[in-house]
Chains A and B, each alone.
Chain A
Amino acid sequence: MEMVAIGLGSVGIISIISVFIGGVTTVQTAYQLVSDLVPRSVIGGITRDSTILELSPTICSLVLAGKVGSSIASQIGTMRVTEQIDALEIMGVNAPGYLILPKLIAGLLMIPLLVIIAIFLSIVGGYISGTVSGALSGAEYIQGLTTDFIPFTVVVALIKALFFAFIIVTVSAYQGFYTHGGALEVGQSSTRAVVISCISILISDYIIAQLLL
């Protein structure tokens, strides 16, 4: 159920964002590459590396911090203020384990999967926008994609996705679990979860890039 909520529930927005990210990256790269000395196929390579290394994992995770993170924080926060978590504890159930662990496992499995989908769709989006705008031909784009491809960049993207997933779920769950008060405080916890998750994602993005590249 958690996998459906985090994974399937986010496929739509991730797909739309990814196609446009790829498309815009291709068009803007083509705009900046005005020299005749640079082959047009380079645009495909730049789009590939940009989306794999940075845009897909980071932008998707920032969007998921807003969508999934706020949902987790408000769901757990509402359970806290309506005493549902107290009810679990009275029954002898380990409330953090029962509520947070399934979300963490679902996040760690589904968010990297979403990032893989995002990478694929970004590249497809780049192909479509590049060929439709006439910036480069399909053959040039595919040549750019396949030239000097380093598979390790995909590993870096997946490592980033795993870290970001952990941040999104744990920060949001923590904010929700320690909500005190009523509806107003649930909203504040949700906002705090998104803000802290986004900042943590950006900081860890820099650290991972610095360490792995």
Chain B
Amino acid sequence: MIEVKDICKSFGENKVLQGISANFKPGITSLIIGSSGSGKTTLLKTMVGLFEPDSGQVLYDGRDFTSMSTHQRIEIRKEIGMLFQGAALFDAMTVEKNISFALDMFTNQTKAEKLDRINFVLDRVNLNGTNKLFPVELSGGMKKRVGIARAIAMNSKYLFCDEPNSGLDPKSAIMIDELIKEITAEYQITTVVVTHDMNSVMGIGDHVLFLHQGKKWWEGSNQEITTTNNKELNDFVFATKLMETLLKK
């Protein structure tokens, strides 16, 4: 479980996160939603240590990540997988090398063991036979799936996804969402997804955190989201006519 306690983060005078607290449980998909500039990506990057919080704590299964030294953090980072908005695959490496990167750096596995693991995770994301392709040869959806394969290659306990289906067609977006949900349940991973896609919210939002103006504005499940009276959340959820029509039906 990941616990976020009273996290504050400012950039100059701009207070991006103002005292956010939340718990993210394993085996369920937690979504952080909110309009652009609400602080959701900053919260995610603060949780993984790419930004240092001004105050507050992030605990990974009780281990205080925020007060750890860089060296101590490495041990927790080995348990973290992250899917970036643009997948962030290493351009100069093949799919196979991208996935084996962390295995090469942090494990003593033999070449055969690593290849087995690579083929297993590629099979899990339905990308068998793409080992020797370079990122430039992959479509947007395939890159995201390789990103997921890379994120789970080290048997990650925590999976973070930053807008995993941005820039994808609806079918590919649903495929990525379903893959994230399946992997989370299958391996009992603590998964945190940042998104502003309502399809994702309705599809995989077991636990939803709505941020507004840097504060936690609402927390619940995707079943509760359509019945809440929270005005800002309703403005966000029913921003599109399609969503309004579908949810009212």
* A binding-site residues for B, Cβ under 8 Å: 78-79, 82-84, 86-87, 89-93
B54-91 residues with Cβ-Cβ distance < 8 A to A are 73-75, 77-78, 80, 82, 84-86, 88-91
A86–B106 CB distance below 8 A: no
B105–A87 CB distance below 8 A: no
Which of A78, A84, A91 has the largest number of chain B CB atoms within 10 A?
A: A91
Tell me the complex Cα distance, A78–B90, Å: 11
* B binding-site residues for A, Cβ under 8 Å: 45, 48-50, 73-75, 77-78, 80, 82, 84-86, 88-91, 101-102, 105-106, 160
Q: Which residue of A lies closest to B73 (CB)?
A: A92
Tell me the complex Cα distance, A89–B101, Å: 13
Tell me the complex Cα distance, A92–B50, Å: 11
**Residues of B contacting A92 with CB < 8 Å?**
73-75, 77-78, 105-106
Tell me the complex Cα distance, A161–B199, Å: 59
8 contacts between A and B (CB under 8 A): A83-B84, A83-B88, A84-B88, A87-B88, A89-B50, A90-B82, A91-B101, A92-B77
Given contacts A89-B50, A90-B48, A91-B105, is CB(A83)–CB(B77) below 8 Å?
A: no
A91–B88 CB distance below 8 A: no
A93–B105 CB distance below 8 A: yes
Q: A90-B49, A91-B78 are in contact. List 9 more A-B contacts (CB 8 A).
A: A82-B91, A83-B85, A83-B88, A86-B50, A86-B88, A90-B80, A90-B160, A91-B77, A92-B78
Which of B88, B91, B102 has the largest number of chain A CB atoms within 10 A?
A: B88
Q: Which residue of A lies closest to B105 (CB)?
A: A93
**Residues of A contacting B49 with CB < 8 Å?**
89-90
Output the least CB separation between A2 and chain B (Å): 12
Output the least CB separation between A82 and chain B (Å): 6
Tell me the complex Cα distance, A92–B106, Å: 9
Given contacts A82-B86, A83-B84, A83-B86, is CB(A90)–CB(B91) below 8 Å?
A: no
Given contacts A92-B73, A92-B106, is CB(A87)–CB(B84) below 8 Å?
A: yes
**Residues of B contacting A87 with CB < 8 Å?**
82, 84, 88, 90
**Residues of A contacting B85 with CB < 8 Å?**
83
Output the least CB separation between B95 and chain A (Å): 14
Output the least CB separation between B79 and chain A (Å): 9
**Residues of B contacting A93 with CB < 8 Å?**
105
A91–B102 CB distance below 8 A: yes
Tell me the complex Cα distance, A137–B221, Å: 91
